[in-house]
A and B are shown apart, each in its own frame.
Chain A
Amino acid sequence: MRVVIADDETLARERLKRFLNDISGSEVVGEAAEGGRAVELCQQQRPDVVLLDIRMPGVDGLEAARHIITLAEPPAIIFTTAYGDYALQAFETQAIDYLLKPIRKERLEQALGRAERLSVTRLEALREEGGKRARTHLSVTSHGTLRLVPLNEVLYFQADMKYVTARTRGESLLLDESLKSLEDEFAERLLRIHRNALVMKEALVGLERDNDGGGVALIRDVSDKLEISRRHLPEVRRWIKGRE
């Protein structure tokens, strides 16, 4: 059984490694001190199981899990935590396995034995119960590899036919999500300007009139001009006014 360990504390990782070396048939194929790295390792190493600490700096365990399950062949996920986080109750109700630190070897062995893949619906349900926290990164698949893009780099989202793209300063990224779900998750940071476009509030720098008397949104760092639909114009204007 190939295992990836993700925990920000070196000592915690070492202890797990020691146990896994003792457990026959298991092998540590990667260690991550941060959630983003864990996602990367899961993709490169294709482990059978990933041990994910819930509290990690950067991308935390819960968010890493959400990205990991979008991989083509996701590993089974076992969460670890030192203390009853808010999430634990949700874990109980969703019957998702987790290990409390300091972890016992037998418990680890047991958990490895019955580790199974997390379904998207269960993880979603977990998020609902865990206070519905928005992700800090988006997962983007390009050329078959998954990559995490910080939400902070995104300027706007646009839907075109059936694809949704996220525009950053340097590129357009194809997403596997709907505008609606993005709008729901990041409601506080996004502004709907058109049926097919959501703009990050901090990237919206101004408003211009186009020749037909409609509105156009100006976006920071890029020369793109986005059409604002008549329906959303008053709200966009109100928001820009409110900021000044």
Chain B
Amino acid sequence: MNSDKASDFFLPNFCERRMVFAVVVLAELFAFILTLAQASYASEPWLDLALISLFMQWTSLSGAAVLCLLRKWLERLEPVWAIVATYLLLLLVIVAMTEAAFVVLGGTMFIPRAGNHLDFLLRNIAIGGIVSALALRYFYMQQQMRKRLQAEASARLDALHARIRPHFLFNSMNTIASLIGSHPEQAEEAVEDLSDLFRASLGKENHFLPLAEELYLTHRYLHIEGLRLGERLQVEWQIAYGVDTLLLPLLILQPLVENAVYHGIEPRPDGGTVIIGAAKSGDELQLWVSNPVVEAETITPRSGNRVALNNIRERLAAHYGEQATLTMSSGEERVVVRITLPLQQGRETK
């Protein structure tokens, strides 16, 4: 947890050698800019550069040192307060270094160049304040961008996971490996089934297909799982007449069935029956998948149920808005997931 938070912090780590080097270089560049800006009326530009550099280096390195030392404390603050505190700390360093310059160099050639004490102090605070604000803004933006990139990467990984379904993939691979020796024809079929399924799940997302094709994919899926689970997996089909050509988004039904097998059949020593149904009702298409209830107390609960359902729910919402619903109801004996979609005839869109 701690290290996660540290990498989330908006300030780079000023304790690192790389960062210290960057601070030195930037401070020097800034010293150049300041010198150049006043070079038109300065009589001894190199001396100016030397003095400004000296001051800049001391101030920026002290600032870095302070941020390095107080990093742990700053990390613990709320983000907003951390930013405010960092800003105030930097201003404090600037004031302290200005005063220190007066004490150390008081009465030397430095002072005449600096102008009077108060004027010098105010100018430094103004310049330092603006530069610090810009720097903090930059660090903050950079952190936001880093965060967004991380979020995107993990979302992409999740989506890939959902498509590849590692649990299913590796179980199927194991089944195939077992079959090759003893039942080569079945192994061959399993490879074909697996290819069909992955071609579908790695294909275009916004694809609509007739229910018959989705049922075909579901059959392929159940065939593989049947090899693996044997007698434990029983399937009952309740497909009404005349629904074959109705259109629905790709992979809506099959993941529901997979979910039912994973949560309702696999954890039961004796397995059970998955019921898969489809029927027209008015101007709606109804799909349902049910599996036996698994008593949570006797069997290790499996996580991830919501994830699969939420994924389907989101895709339904993307396609149909509020016209489609997905509900899950748990009775005494069976868990039923029901999907209602607006009717859409195959021939009209294809």
Contacts and interface: CB of A to CB of B under 8 A. Distances in A.
A239 interface: no
Interface stretch (A10-18, A139-147, A158-166, A190-198): A10-18
Contacts of A189: 297
Nearest to B182: A14
B7 interface: no
Interface residues of B, number: 26
B171 A57 contact: no
A63 B181 CA distance: 32
Contact of A82 (B174, B179, B181, B267): B174
Q: Do most interface residues of chain A lie in helix, strand or loop, or is the interface mixed?
A: loop
A9 B228 contact: yes
Q: Do most interface residues of chain B lie in helix, strand or loop, or is the interface mixed?
A: helix
Contacts of A84: 166
A18 B183 CA distance: 14
A55 B170 CA distance: 13
A11 B178 contact: yes
Interface in B280-325: 297-300
Contacts of A102: 170, 173-174, 176-178
Nearest to A101: B174
Contacts, number: 70
A11 B228 contact: yes
Interface string A1-42: 000000011111011001000000000000001100000000
A102 B174 CA distance: 4
A150 B178 contact: no
A218 interface: no
B171 A82 contact: yes
A115 B297 CA distance: 33
A15 B178 contact: yes
A171 to B, nearest CB: 20
B227 interface: yes
B3 to A, nearest CB: 16
Interface in A80-106: 82-84, 100-102
Contact of A12 (B174, B297, B298): B174
B300 A60 contact: yes
A33 B231 CA distance: 13
A11 B266 contact: no
A58 B297 CA distance: 10
Contact of B298 (A33, A83, A101, A152): A152
Interface of B: 166-167, 169-171, 173-179, 181-182, 227-230, 266-269, 297-300
Given A82-B170, A82-B173, A136-B298, 9 more contacts: A9-B230, A15-B181, A34-B269, A57-B269, A58-B298, A83-B167, A100-B170, A101-B173, A102-B173
